Amino acid sequence: MALRILSLNAWGGKLHAPLMRYLIEVDADVLCLQEVVRSPETTSDWLVYRDRDVELPQRANLFDEIRAALPEHDGYFCPTARGELSDGDRMVHSEFGLATFVRKSLPVIGQALDFVHGRFSPDGWGEHPRARNAHCIRLFSYEDGFSITIAQMHGLRDTNGKGDTPERQAQADAFMQLVGRVWPGNERLIVCGDFNVLPESATFAALGNLGLSDLVTGRGHTDTRTSHYGKSGRFADYMLATPDVDVVRFDVVEQPEVSDHRALLLDLR
């Protein structure tokens, strides 16, 4: 039986209805999600993020909604910061970060969580480039009889673009070190996420030292963004695999559009 892994930048749940339908219908065993929100101080459905000329609706408790919609999965929320979002005429604290969901039939036998850029900010979103983290898990599939390590990262956003910088090189090094704390080196490894880098980035040379190769560019895909993204530079999201991964199917999903990022979907053995 194939194991299904999904990676997606959820965009704070802005396209909430199609997003929730898709996460249920895709029936992934492991979901690696970036830009997930949790706001325990409010029962409102929507909050608003404002930063200079940016105004973005955020689903207030997206993590809890996904967890309720996927009762056969365990959920892990990994925040990078707690800041304030607008709830009508008042401000409420909200957390922002990664979420990983794992089917309960797949035991988590190892994991590591750490920052790859900056550190946790408890009292505001911070200055750009803001803190970023990564989450690495090791699972065992009883049905298939093998263990597999899966790591996701949301790469730092630089207002100057997606080119290589010393901060991005340090981020790649920190990500590799995190993976090395969990991955034994002799089993399947998948690395994925919204890296916020270009295909020619040195990040991929670094990850290549782990034997990883990118499925997005390696299979000829040229766009990981949807029609909701109006800027140039259509690469952001990547999924890499070691040679021992038997790729049954890999897709950069064009439809449905559930974010300004396309979902990356992998079936493997």
pLDDT for the residue 51: 86
What CATH number labels 3-268?
Answer: 3.60.10.10
In percent, the amount of the chain with pLDDT more than 70 equals 100
**Strand locations in 118-234 (E):** 132-141, 146-154, 188-194, 213-214
Report d(CA 153, CA 175) in Å as an integer.
8
The Cα–Cα gap between 232 and 34 comes to 21
Print burial letters for 113-129: b (CB count within 10 Å at least 16), e (below 16).
eebbbbeebeeebeeeb
Q: What is the pLDDT of residues 131-145, one digit of tens each?
A: 999 999 999 999 999
Please name the helix (run of DSSP H) or strand (run of DSSP E) that holds residue 171, with its range, or none: helix 166-180
* Residue 149 CB burial class (10 angstroms; 0-12, 13-18, ≥19): buried
- In the prediction, which pLDDT does 213 show? 98
Phi and psi based region of residue 233 (left: phi greater than 0; alpha: psi -120 to 50; beta: remaining): left
pLDDT at residue 52, as a whole number: 81
**Res 54: pLDDT:** 86
Q: Considering the entire predicted model, what is its pTM? A: 0.98
The mean pLDDT of the chain is: 97
Cα gap 87→48, rounded to integer Å: 7
In angstroms, rounded to a whole number, what is the distance separating the alpha carbons of residues 23 and 25? Answer: 6
The 10s digit of each residue's pLDDT in 198-240 is 999 999 999 999 999 999 999 999 999 999 999 988 999 999 9
Which pLDDT band, with edges at 50, 70 and 90, does 1 fall under? confident
CB contact at 8 A, 57 and 14: yes
User: 43-79 burial string, b = 16+ CB within 10 Å, else e?
Assistant: eeebbebeeeeeeebbbbbbbbbbbeebeebebbbbb
Q: Report residue 213 as tokens.
A: 């190769």
**Res. 37: pLDDT tops 80:** yes
- Cα 208 to Cα 193: distance, rounded to the nearest angstrom: 16
Number of H helices, E strands in the chain: 5, 14
